[in-house]
Amino acid sequence: REGLSGEETLEIGSYNALLKTSLPKKFQYYKADQESYESSHDIFRTTFPSGFAWEVISVYSGPPVVTFKFRHWGYMEGPFQGHAPTGEKVEFFGLAVLKVDETLRAEEVEIYYDPGELFGGLLKGSPITISDPHEDTSSKPTSKHGCPFYKGE
């Protein structure tokens, strides 16, 4: 997709900028156009209360065009978009090309990664359901992990 300016990225938030997609809505696990800067950061702070680290793994070329491999990772200790926390490490890897000026200030950044790596970890948790306290559940099975074809007796 088309890139964003630094100002546009700051306005909408880095998560929204990086997770924006042109996929049809029904395939979007995260709807960047429905989140604000604040709400996007709240989602990821809730999901990763101990932090969601970003680190450079390898640097392949030096200035003025710096190419590097990165990793973004954290432990999913909070829910994400209706999925229970797993406590597992969630991570994804990517490559970036950073063009810098003579004072090493960033002029342009291109980031390449597979968001499926991120969402694969975030959607692993069981769906969270909020039950109705007035609903009679006495005849309902207590396990959500049974055979879908077993009808019981």
Give the integer Cα–Cα distance in Å for 16 and 34.
9
| pLDDT tens by residue, 62-109 | 999 999 999 999 999 999 999 999 999 999 999 999 999 999 999 999
For residues 48 and 75, the answer to whether their CB atoms sit within 8 Å is yes
Structural domains of the chain sorted by starting position, each given as residue range(s) with its CATH number in brackets: 6-123 (3.10.450)
Task: Quickly state the pLDDT bin for 112 (edges 50, 70, 90).
Answer: very high
pTM recorded for the entire structure: 0.77
Helix, strand, coil % (nearest 5) of the chain?
Answer: 25, 30, 45
Q: What is the CA radius of gyration of the chain?
A: 20
For residues 84 and 130, the answer to whether their CB atoms sit within 8 Å is no
